[in-house]
Amino acid sequence: MKRLICSVVLLCSVLLPLCAQSDKKEVRRGNSDFKKENYKDSEIHYRKALVQDSTSFAATYDLANTLYQQRDYEGAANTLKKIEKVAPDSPYSASYYFNKGNVDLQKKDYAAAVDDFKQSLLRNPADMQAKESYIYAKKMLDNQNQGGENSEQNQEQNKDQNQDQQQNQQNQDQQQKQDQSESQPQEQEISAQQAQQMLKAIQAKEKETQDKVEKMKAEKAKSRQKEKNW
């Protein structure tokens, strides 16, 4: 709805000591403009950095983020794709998958978004925004698979989902600005047991949500029956 939308941990010029100093300078300028929400100016600086070093992970990653902020979701997706082979093994893999999930949400590719947020959580189980985004993406995918039934229950769900998405967007934008810094993110490692526990917790939450939906359906059906009998 992490970082890019529950928010991107933006990379600064912390990457690669082999990068030319001029590349780092452009990335720093881009980050400075990004903090001021001058996204078009930050895009220019990141592109200049890439002209000087087309392999710059930091410039590519941050360019995708500023494109996202300008609602150029296709551009953001294509830019992230350029680092898809190296990002999963980098210290920033959790943030990369979170950002990719946000882009896929905007493109309404909910299946991809669910997988992206799951990958982000496997790398950083403590990320609450990633958990919320995963649950939201899963809910949207379930609705999509149900064929978009036109019912009162679906309308109420959509209303709640829109509110959740707006709140998610606000939280992610705030987190995004806080994460934009020149310090290198710390790599976090988790055990297979921790990852399994985290996924079980998410599945339990999803079941709880589904039970509430089923209960609401039953109550509405009972109410309609009473009205008919009356």
Check whether 32 has a pLDDT greater than 70.
Answer: yes
pTM, whole model, 2 decimals?
A: 0.60
What is the model's pLDDT at position 216? 66
Instruction: pLDDT band for 198, please (50, 70, 90 cuts).
Output: confident
Predicted local distance difference test score (pLDDT) of residue 144: 87
- Between 2 and 46, the more confident residue is 46
For range 43-58, the mean pLDDT? 93
144-179 residue pLDDT tens:
888 755 444 555 555 666 666 666 666 666 655 555
- In the chain, what are the domains? 21-184+191-203 (1.25.40.10)
Question: What percent of the chain stands above pLDDT 90?
Answer: 49
In three state form, how does the secondary structure of the chain look? CCCECCECCCCCCCCCCCCCHHHHHHHHHHHHHHHCCCHHHHHHHHHHHHHHCCCCHHHHHHHHHHHHHCCCHHHHHHHHHCCCCCHHHCCCHHHHHHHHHHHHHHCCCHHHHHHHHHHHHHHCCCCHHHHHHHHHHHHHHHHHHCCCCCCHHHHHHHHHHHHHHHHHHHHHHHHHHHHCCCCCCCCCCCCHHHHHHHHHHHHHHHHHHHHHHHHHHHHHHHHHHHHHHC
* Each residue's pLDDT tens digit, 67-126: 999 999 999 999 999 999 999 999 999 999 999 999 999 999 999 999 999 999 999 999
